[in-house]
Protein backbone atom coordinates (compact mmCIF):
# COMPACT_ATOMS: atom_id res chain seq x y z
CA UNK A 1 0.00 0.00 0.00
CA UNK A 2 2.85 2.40 0.68
CA UNK A 3 6.56 2.73 0.29
CA UNK A 4 8.55 1.86 3.37
CA UNK A 5 8.85 4.82 5.72
CA UNK A 6 6.28 6.89 3.85
CA UNK A 7 2.88 7.31 5.42
CA UNK A 8 0.02 7.47 2.96
CA UNK A 9 -3.08 9.13 4.32
CA UNK A 10 -6.56 8.86 2.89
CA UNK A 11 -9.76 10.83 3.37
CA UNK A 12 -13.17 9.36 2.63
CA UNK A 13 -15.14 12.56 2.47
CA UNK A 14 -13.60 15.89 1.55
CA UNK A 15 -15.53 18.54 3.48
CA UNK A 16 -14.17 21.39 5.58
CA UNK A 17 -13.02 19.25 8.48
CA UNK A 18 -11.10 16.90 6.18
CA UNK A 19 -9.61 19.88 4.35
CA UNK A 20 -8.54 21.43 7.65
CA UNK A 21 -6.73 18.30 8.82
CA UNK A 22 -5.09 17.78 5.43
CA UNK A 23 -3.88 21.37 5.23
CA UNK A 24 -2.55 21.20 8.78
CA UNK A 25 -0.47 18.05 8.28
CA UNK A 26 0.83 19.16 4.87
CA UNK A 27 1.79 22.65 6.00
CA UNK A 28 3.58 21.21 9.03
CA UNK A 29 5.51 18.78 6.82
CA UNK A 30 4.07 15.69 8.52
CA UNK A 31 2.80 14.16 5.27
CA UNK A 32 3.67 14.98 1.66
CA UNK A 33 0.70 16.30 -0.30
CA UNK A 34 1.37 13.67 -2.99
CA UNK A 35 0.86 10.98 -0.32
CA UNK A 36 -2.67 12.10 0.46
CA UNK A 37 -5.65 10.70 -1.43
CA UNK A 38 -9.16 12.08 -0.92
CA UNK A 39 -12.46 10.74 -2.22
CA UNK A 40 -15.86 12.37 -2.65
CA UNK A 41 -18.86 11.62 -4.87
CA UNK A 42 -18.47 14.89 -6.80
CA UNK A 43 -15.75 17.41 -7.57
CA UNK A 44 -17.33 20.11 -5.39
CA UNK A 45 -15.02 19.61 -2.37
CA UNK A 46 -12.10 17.93 -4.10
CA UNK A 47 -10.76 21.17 -5.55
CA UNK A 48 -9.31 22.20 -2.17
CA UNK A 49 -7.32 18.95 -2.03
CA UNK A 50 -6.15 19.37 -5.62
CA UNK A 51 -5.03 22.94 -4.89
CA UNK A 52 -2.99 21.55 -2.00
CA UNK A 53 -1.28 19.07 -4.35
CA UNK A 54 -3.13 16.00 -3.10
CA UNK A 55 -4.53 13.23 -5.28
CA UNK A 56 -8.28 12.74 -5.57
CA UNK A 57 -10.75 10.08 -6.65
CA UNK A 58 -14.47 9.36 -6.71
CA UNK A 59 -13.90 5.80 -5.48
CA UNK A 60 -13.90 5.26 -1.72
CA UNK A 61 -12.42 1.77 -2.03
CA UNK A 62 -9.43 3.16 -3.90
CA UNK A 63 -8.55 5.16 -0.79
CA UNK A 64 -8.42 1.94 1.24
CA UNK A 65 -6.34 0.20 -1.43
CA UNK A 66 -3.72 2.96 -1.56
CA UNK A 67 -3.59 4.26 2.03
CA UNK A 68 -2.95 2.77 5.46
CA UNK A 69 -4.25 5.60 7.65
CA UNK A 70 -7.75 6.52 6.54
CA UNK A 71 -9.91 9.33 7.91
CA UNK A 72 -13.67 8.82 7.59
CA UNK A 73 -14.91 12.38 7.19
CA UNK A 74 -18.42 11.97 5.82
CA UNK A 75 -21.57 13.37 7.41
CA UNK A 76 -22.70 11.14 10.31
CA UNK A 77 -25.91 9.94 8.65
CA UNK A 78 -23.94 8.78 5.58
CA UNK A 79 -21.29 6.90 7.52
CA UNK A 80 -23.07 3.52 7.94
CA UNK A 81 -23.47 3.22 4.17
CA UNK A 82 -19.85 4.21 3.60
CA UNK A 83 -18.67 1.64 6.15
CA UNK A 84 -20.67 -1.06 4.41
CA UNK A 85 -19.08 -0.05 1.11
CA UNK A 86 -15.46 -0.01 2.30
CA UNK A 87 -15.57 -2.90 4.80
CA UNK A 88 -14.45 -5.54 2.24
CA UNK A 89 -11.29 -3.50 1.54
CA UNK A 90 -10.33 -2.99 5.21
CA UNK A 91 -7.45 -5.13 6.47
CA UNK A 92 -5.62 -5.49 9.78
CA UNK A 93 -2.93 -3.16 8.42
CA UNK A 94 -5.36 -0.25 8.21
CA UNK A 95 -5.83 2.41 10.86
CA UNK A 96 -9.36 3.78 10.52
CA UNK A 97 -10.03 7.20 12.03
CA UNK A 98 -13.56 8.57 12.22
CA UNK A 99 -14.21 12.30 12.29
CA UNK A 100 -18.00 11.86 12.27
CA UNK A 101 -19.77 13.54 15.18
CA UNK A 102 -21.85 11.24 17.36
CA UNK A 103 -20.86 7.91 15.75
CA UNK A 104 -19.45 5.77 18.57
CA UNK A 105 -16.46 3.46 18.54
CA UNK A 106 -18.83 0.59 19.29
CA UNK A 107 -20.84 1.36 16.14
CA UNK A 108 -17.69 1.70 14.05
CA UNK A 109 -16.30 -1.61 15.30
CA UNK A 110 -19.59 -3.39 14.67
CA UNK A 111 -19.72 -2.21 11.05
CA UNK A 112 -16.06 -2.96 10.24
CA UNK A 113 -14.26 -6.33 10.15
CA UNK A 114 -13.36 -7.82 13.53
CA UNK A 115 -9.97 -6.69 14.76
CA UNK A 116 -9.94 -3.41 12.82
CA UNK A 117 -7.87 -0.70 14.49
CA UNK A 118 -10.37 2.13 14.94
CA UNK A 119 -10.01 5.54 16.56
CA UNK A 120 -12.25 8.59 16.81
CA UNK A 121 -11.07 12.16 16.56
CA UNK A 122 -12.87 15.44 16.87
CA UNK A 123 -10.91 18.33 15.35
CA UNK A 124 -12.09 21.87 14.80
CA UNK A 125 -11.77 24.23 11.87
CA UNK A 126 -8.68 26.18 13.04
CA UNK A 127 -6.69 23.03 12.21
CA UNK A 128 -6.40 24.70 8.80
CA UNK A 129 -4.10 27.32 10.34
CA UNK A 130 -2.41 24.83 12.68
CA UNK A 131 -4.17 26.28 15.74
CA UNK A 132 -6.88 23.68 16.16
CA UNK A 133 -7.97 21.70 19.20
CA UNK A 134 -8.27 17.95 18.63
CA UNK A 135 -9.22 15.09 20.93
CA UNK A 136 -8.51 11.43 20.18
CA UNK A 137 -10.11 8.26 21.57
CA UNK A 138 -9.05 4.73 20.66
CA UNK A 139 -11.11 1.62 20.08
CA UNK A 140 -10.45 -1.75 21.68
CA UNK A 141 -8.09 -2.96 18.93
CA UNK A 142 -6.09 0.24 18.58
CA UNK A 143 -2.97 0.24 20.71
CA UNK A 144 -0.50 2.84 21.91
CA UNK A 145 1.42 2.66 18.62
CA UNK A 146 -1.63 3.68 16.56
CA UNK A 147 -2.68 6.33 19.09
CA UNK A 148 0.86 7.78 19.21
CA UNK A 149 1.01 7.94 15.40
CA UNK A 150 -2.28 9.79 15.27
CA UNK A 151 -1.34 12.17 18.08
CA UNK A 152 1.96 12.95 16.35
CA UNK A 153 0.19 13.58 13.06
CA UNK A 154 -2.57 15.75 14.50
CA UNK A 155 -0.23 17.73 16.74
CA UNK A 156 0.62 19.48 13.47
CA UNK A 157 -2.90 20.89 13.59
CA UNK A 158 -2.59 22.45 17.05
CA UNK A 159 -3.42 21.08 20.50
CA UNK A 160 -4.03 17.30 20.44
CA UNK A 161 -5.14 15.37 23.54
CA UNK A 162 -6.10 11.72 24.00
CA UNK A 163 -9.25 11.42 26.11
CA UNK A 164 -11.96 8.91 27.04
CA UNK A 165 -14.55 8.59 24.28
CA UNK A 166 -17.17 10.16 26.56
CA UNK A 167 -15.36 13.49 26.23
CA UNK A 168 -15.69 13.63 22.44
CA UNK A 169 -19.28 14.85 22.34
CA UNK A 170 -18.41 17.43 25.01
CA UNK A 171 -15.46 18.55 22.91
CA UNK A 172 -17.85 18.93 19.98
CA UNK A 173 -19.94 21.36 22.04
CA UNK A 174 -16.91 23.12 23.52
CA UNK A 175 -14.54 23.41 20.59
CA UNK A 176 -15.87 21.81 17.41
CA UNK A 177 -18.90 24.09 17.48
CA UNK A 178 -17.20 26.50 19.87
CA UNK A 179 -15.25 28.31 17.17
CA UNK A 180 -18.59 29.58 15.82
CA UNK A 181 -19.46 31.03 19.23
CA UNK A 182 -16.11 32.83 19.25
CA UNK A 183 -16.67 34.17 15.72
CA UNK A 184 -20.07 35.49 16.83
CA UNK A 185 -18.48 37.17 19.85
CA UNK A 186 -15.73 38.67 17.68
CA UNK A 187 -18.36 39.98 15.29
CA UNK A 188 -20.31 41.58 18.14
CA UNK A 189 -17.14 43.03 19.67
CA UNK A 190 -16.16 44.65 16.38
CA UNK A 191 -19.68 45.92 15.68
CA UNK A 192 -19.69 47.62 19.08
CA UNK A 193 -16.58 49.52 18.02
CA UNK A 194 -18.15 50.36 14.65
CA UNK A 195 -21.19 51.74 16.49
CA UNK A 196 -18.86 54.01 18.43
CA UNK A 197 -17.18 55.28 15.25
CA UNK A 198 -14.27 52.96 14.38
CA UNK A 199 -13.91 51.72 10.76
CA UNK A 200 -15.09 48.13 10.31
CA UNK A 201 -11.83 46.69 8.93
CA UNK A 202 -9.80 48.08 11.81
CA UNK A 203 -12.40 46.99 14.39
CA UNK A 204 -12.39 43.41 13.06
CA UNK A 205 -8.59 43.27 13.14
CA UNK A 206 -8.39 44.56 16.70
CA UNK A 207 -11.20 42.26 17.88
CA UNK A 208 -9.38 39.24 16.44
CA UNK A 209 -6.09 40.26 18.04
CA UNK A 210 -7.86 40.80 21.36
CA UNK A 211 -9.20 37.25 21.30
CA UNK A 212 -5.84 35.85 20.21
CA UNK A 213 -4.00 37.69 22.97
CA UNK A 214 -6.49 36.69 25.66
CA UNK A 215 -6.33 33.04 24.61
CA UNK A 216 -2.54 33.08 24.58
CA UNK A 217 -2.46 34.50 28.11
CA UNK A 218 -4.72 31.68 29.38
CA UNK A 219 -2.44 29.04 27.82
CA UNK A 220 0.89 30.60 28.74
CA UNK A 221 0.14 31.79 32.29
CA UNK A 222 -1.91 28.77 33.34
CA UNK A 223 -4.17 31.14 35.26
CA UNK A 224 -7.91 30.54 35.50
CA UNK A 225 -9.84 32.85 33.15
CA UNK A 226 -11.68 34.33 36.14
CA UNK A 227 -8.37 35.43 37.68
CA UNK A 228 -7.22 37.04 34.42
CA UNK A 229 -10.59 38.77 34.04
CA UNK A 230 -10.34 40.12 37.58
CA UNK A 231 -6.87 41.46 36.85
CA UNK A 232 -8.31 43.71 34.10
CA UNK A 233 -10.93 45.25 36.36
CA UNK A 234 -10.17 48.38 38.39
CA UNK A 235 -12.69 49.76 40.90
CA UNK A 236 -15.17 52.00 39.11
CA UNK A 237 -13.35 51.54 35.80
CA UNK A 238 -14.51 50.91 32.23
CA UNK A 239 -14.13 47.12 32.33
CA UNK A 240 -16.30 46.45 35.38
CA UNK A 241 -19.06 48.63 33.93
CA UNK A 242 -18.89 46.67 30.64
CA UNK A 243 -18.86 43.31 32.44
CA UNK A 244 -21.96 44.35 34.36
CA UNK A 245 -23.77 44.79 31.02
CA UNK A 246 -22.62 41.33 29.87
CA UNK A 247 -23.87 39.80 33.13
CA UNK A 248 -27.24 41.54 32.70
CA UNK A 249 -27.42 39.94 29.26
CA UNK A 250 -26.71 36.50 30.80
CA UNK A 251 -23.67 35.94 28.57
CA UNK A 252 -22.16 33.33 30.89
CA UNK A 253 -25.32 31.21 31.16
CA UNK A 254 -26.09 31.57 27.45
CA UNK A 255 -22.66 30.28 26.45
CA UNK A 256 -22.93 27.38 28.90
CA UNK A 257 -26.34 26.56 27.40
CA UNK A 258 -24.85 26.64 23.90
CA UNK A 259 -22.14 24.12 24.86
CA UNK A 260 -24.80 21.90 26.43
CA UNK A 261 -27.09 22.13 23.38
CA UNK A 262 -24.31 21.20 20.94
CA UNK A 263 -23.14 18.35 23.18
CA UNK A 264 -26.65 16.93 23.45
CA UNK A 265 -27.12 17.19 19.70
CA UNK A 266 -23.89 15.26 19.13
CA UNK A 267 -25.18 12.56 21.49
CA UNK A 268 -28.50 12.45 19.63
CA UNK A 269 -26.64 11.88 16.37
CA UNK A 270 -24.87 8.93 17.98
CA UNK A 271 -28.16 7.33 19.00
CA UNK A 272 -29.60 7.20 15.48
Looking at the predicted structure, is the pLDDT value of residue 229 above 50?
yes
CB 30 within 8 A of CB 150: no
Looking at the predicted structure, is the pLDDT value of residue 3 above 80?
no
Maximum average pLDDT range among 64-78, 151-165, 187-201: 187-201
Selected residue with higher pLDDT from 19 and 102: 19
Selected residue with higher pLDDT from 60 and 27: 60
Structure confidence at residue 16 (pLDDT): 87
Average pLDDT, the chain: 93
Structure confidence at residue 1 (pLDDT): 47
Helical H runs in 7-139? 16-27, 46-52, 60-66, 79-86, 105-111
Q: Is 74 annotated as a binding residue?
A: yes
Q: Is 73 annotated as a binding residue?
A: yes
Structure confidence at residue 13 (pLDDT): 94
- Output the pTM of the full model: 0.85
| 255: phi then psi, degrees, rounded to nearest 5 | -65, -40
Looking at the predicted structure, is the pLDDT value of residue 58 above 80?
yes
DSSP codes, 211-230: HHHHHHHHHHH---HHHHHH
Express each pLDDT in 234-257 by its tens digit.
999 999 999 999 999 999 999 999
Find the mean pLDDT for residues 122-149: 92
The full set of domains in the chain, from first to last, is 9-165 (3.40.50.720), 178-270 (1.10.3730.10)
Q: Is 75 annotated as a binding residue?
A: yes
List, edge to edge, every strand of the sheet that includes 36-39: 55-57, 36-39, 9-12, 69-72, 95-98, 117-122, 132-138, 158-162
Selected residue with higher pLDDT from 2 and 69: 69
CB 33 within 8 A of CB 140: no
Kindly give the pairing relationship between strand 132-138 and strand 69-72. Answer: unpaired
Amino acid sequence: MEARGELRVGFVGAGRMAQGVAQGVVRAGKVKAANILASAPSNRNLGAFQDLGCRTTHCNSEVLQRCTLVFLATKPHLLPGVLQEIAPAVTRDHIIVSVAAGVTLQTLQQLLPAGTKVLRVMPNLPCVVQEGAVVVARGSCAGEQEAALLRSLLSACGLCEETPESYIDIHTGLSGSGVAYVYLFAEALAEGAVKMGMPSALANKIAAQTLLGAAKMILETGEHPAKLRSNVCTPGGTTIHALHELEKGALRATVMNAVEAATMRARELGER
